[in-house]
Amino acid sequence: MSNIAIVDYGMGNIRSVAQAVMKVAPECKVVIAHQPEQIKHADKIILPGQGAMPDCMLNLKNSGLYDALMDAIKNKPLLGVCVGEQMLFDHSDESHVVHEKTPCLGVIPGKVIRFAPNMMHSDGTHLKVPHMGWNEVFQQQMHPLWDGVPNQARFYFVHSYHVVPDNKIHEFGTTNYGGLFTSAIAKDNIFATQFHPEKSAKDGLRIYQNFTRWNP
C-alpha cells in the first residue's frame, strides 16, 4: 500500500485530486500534506497548482513545505498538475512586476511562457487566452503513465501559460493550440501535465491510477 501525499500550499485543486486518487486506488493512503513530515513519510508525491505563479511560489515557501518537497523530488515518484508542472521549471514569465521573471523550482531545465497574442484558428477566428476546455494530447514518447491511455486522447485544460523545456528529451506530450506546445513532461522519477487529469474523465483517472502503480 502506497502512502501518497498531495502537497497543500493553498493554491491547488486539492480535494478533487484527492477524490480522484482515492477512486482509482482505494488501497492507497492519501494524505493532504500540510506538514513537512507528511511529505517526508510519503512514498509518492502529487504537486497540484492553480493561480498565478508568483503567488504559488510565495505560498509554497511560506507554507514550510518547500524544503521537504525539494528533498522528496530527488528520489520519490512525483506527479505535477497544471501550475504544479510549471513550478518544476527554472522560471516563469508570469510575474507581478513588469519585465521580471518568477524563479521556480529549477528541477527541469526550461521556462514558462504566455501564449502568444492574436493566435488564430485555421478558419481565421481568434483563439482565446486562457486556453480552456478539452483538447488532444499527442504522446511524444512512451511512459508508464501513458499505459492504457490512447494517443490523442482528450484532456481538460485551463491555462494562459505553458512550459518550454530546454531539451526535447523531457517532452512526453504536446497539444495544438495556435501551434504545438508541451503539455506533458517527464524526467526520471517525475511526470507532470499541463492538463487536469482529475477533470478529464476515464483517461485522466487512468493517469492517476498508473501513477499509484509507478515505481521508477
Catalytic residues: 82, 196, 198
Three-state DSSP class for residue 120: strand
DSSP per-residue string spanning 170-191? GEEEEEESSSEEEEEEEETTEE
Determine the Cα–Cα distance for residues 172 and 146; give it in Å rounded to an integer: 9
CB 60 within 8 A of CB 66: yes
Q: Is 32 exposed, middle or buried (0-12, 13-18, 19+ CB in 10 A)?
A: middle
C-alpha cell, 171: 517532452
Give CA–CA dist 29/1, Å, rounded.
7
- Roughly how many angstroms between the first and final C-alpha of the chain, as a whole number? 16
Closest CA to 60 of 116, 51, 184: 51
